[in-house]
Amino acid sequence: MKPILLVIGTVWPEPNSSAAGFRMMQLLNLFLNNGWDVAFASTAAESEYSSDLNYAGITKKSIELNSSTFDEYIKTLNPDVVIFDRFMTEEQFGWRVTENCPQALRILDTEDLHCLRKERERAWKKGRDFQPDDMLSSETAFREIASIYRCDLSLIISEYEMKLLNDLFDIKQERLAYTPFLFDPVDDDAFANLPKFEKRSDFVTIGNFLHEPNWNSILWLKEEIWPLIRKQLQGAKLHNYGAYPSNKVMQLHNDKEGFLIHGRADSAEHVIKQARVLLAPLRFGAGLKGKLTDAMQCGTPSVTTSVGAEGLNGEYRWPGFVADSADEIATAAVKLYQDSVIWHKAQQSGKVIINKRFSANLHGEELMRRIDAIRADLKYHRKRNFIGNMLTHHHHASTKFMGKWIEEKNRVK
């Protein structure tokens, strides 16, 4: 009999809208390829951009918050592993999973550390440098770290975040699994046939506009960085792509300035391949930036910030430039755009990073090995997690009765 995975998602995966959606499909496919039956459940409404999970061989289930109908569903499904796609989902459904399927291995996929992203944003808005200790008084951190402790294993996408959890929050390595993006090796022939330097033109940036770090970077480009670039490259254009552009985003469009807002790209790969340089001036954020690995795979050098590059290149040379001020970013962007020698070296660096740092075989096999090992001795693994057991006891008691109270209140209505 095949083992069963249940993923409880905050939203239905949209791999063409965000790196989080793309990453989720990588995880689902990893389990499918290892012979698991996979089910995906969510309280959210599907959009026209949601992935066709049925076509991929995944069973879908719409679920409700604060409803015992979920209890019946999960008891019938009886999964071997349950993945919560963010800590908020674990808060909502973790106690129900524990109560109805106590034998199921509970995994938190953090996507990125929300507390890191939130505190970096808070520090930026206050005009000061972020310090890791900022998270020690963060309400988001209280909730997120508690969720990590309550789960049997947490998937961490960035080495920087792994170290942060080890050093700052004293979370043991045995409770964490470094699981970055999972890519197949770049095909040498396909890479050699990418559009050449001379055939490419203009700059591109891409990212879901609902994601605050992306929106902030677009404003920085518009107000400071792009005018500096445009002054030196008067005919150049910046093509801004992203899912879910609001009116305030569309109002930034200006043909005369060469600052073009296009909204959602039909193919992110196509628009990135046509550009000579990708810009990603992120002033805050967390996790790994999918736009930058997309650029590496498309042979498009990039200019980003220290936050943007975090966790990506390791010991390897960045495929372009990393800079943290508007002047430095603009200078680097112009140099990369004009110098074909620097550009070609950067392009090759991106290929190396994809192949050396994000091997689907290496990281996928390691994750499945960790899961098998914990499942083989789950009782001992949980016994060693005293803090998690303590948090589970208190959190699940309060959340359980709050959920039942809400359910009863809704029934009376």
- Per CATH, 4-182+360-412 and 188-357 having the same topology is answered yes
Look up residue 331 and give its two tokens. 């200078």
Pairing mode of beta strands 153-156, 105-109:
parallel
The type of residue at 247 is N
Residues 6+ apart with CB under 8 A from 174: 381, 384
Domain 4-182+360-412 - what CATH class?
Answer: alpha beta
Cα dist from 77 to 5, 27, 41, 158, 321, whole Å: 9, 20, 12, 32, 49
| Domain ranges, ordered by start, for the chain | 4-182+360-412, 188-357
The rounded radius of gyration (Å) of the Cα atoms in the chain is 22
What is the rounded CA–CA span in Å between residue 73 and residue 77?
6
Would you state the pLDDT for residue 413?
62
Per-residue pLDDT tens for 173-196? Answer: 999 999 999 999 999 999 999 999
Look up residue 3 and give its two tokens. 């083992």
Phi, psi of 61 (to 5 degrees): -150, 125
Average pLDDT score, the chain: 94
CB 336, CB 277: distance < 8 Å: yes
Residue appearing with tokens 């019938």: 76
Would you state the pLDDT for residue 69?
95
The type of residue at 54 is N
3-state secondary structure of 283: coil
SS3 for 14-48 is CCCCCHHHHHHHHHHHHHHHCCCEEEEEECCCCCC
- Per-residue pLDDT band for 402 (boundaries 50, 70, 90) equals low
- Per-residue pLDDT band for 56 (boundaries 50, 70, 90) equals confident
The CATH architecture of the domain made up of 188-357 is 3-Layer(aba) Sandwich (3.40)
Residue appearing with tokens 């994809």: 354
Overall average pLDDT of the 314-330 stretch: 97
Region class of 206: left (phi > 0), else alpha (psi between -120 and 50), else beta: beta
In degrees to the nearest 10, what's the CA dihedral of 84, 87, 93, 98? 80
**Sign of the dihedral defined by the CA atoms of residues 380, 383, 388, 393, in that order:** positive
Per-residue pLDDT tens for 358-389? Answer: 999 999 999 999 999 999 999 999 999 998 88
Per-residue pLDDT tens for 261-306? Answer: 999 999 999 999 999 999 999 999 999 999 999 999 999 999 999 9
Q: In terms of Cα–Cα distance, which of 9, 7, 2 is closest to 82?
A: 7
Chain centroid to CA 10: 13
What's the CA angle centered on 23, arms 279 and 304, to 5 degrees? 15
Look up residue 148 and give its two tokens. 């990590």
Is 90 exceeded by the pLDDT of residue 18?
no
What is the rounded CA–CA span in Å between residue 160 and residue 46?
33
What is the rounded CA–CA span in Å between residue 3 and residue 5?
7
Is 90 exceeded by the pLDDT of residue 391?
no
Overall average pLDDT of the 31-58 stretch: 94
What is the rounded CA–CA span in Å between residue 330 and residue 227?
9
Cα dist from 98 to 79, 82, 107, 115, 362, whole Å: 12, 10, 12, 25, 31
Residue burial 208-233, b: 16+ Cβ < 10 Å; e: rest: bbebebbbbbbebbbeebbeebbeeb
pTM given for the model: 0.92
Half-sphere exposure of 126 (CA within 13 A, CB side): 11
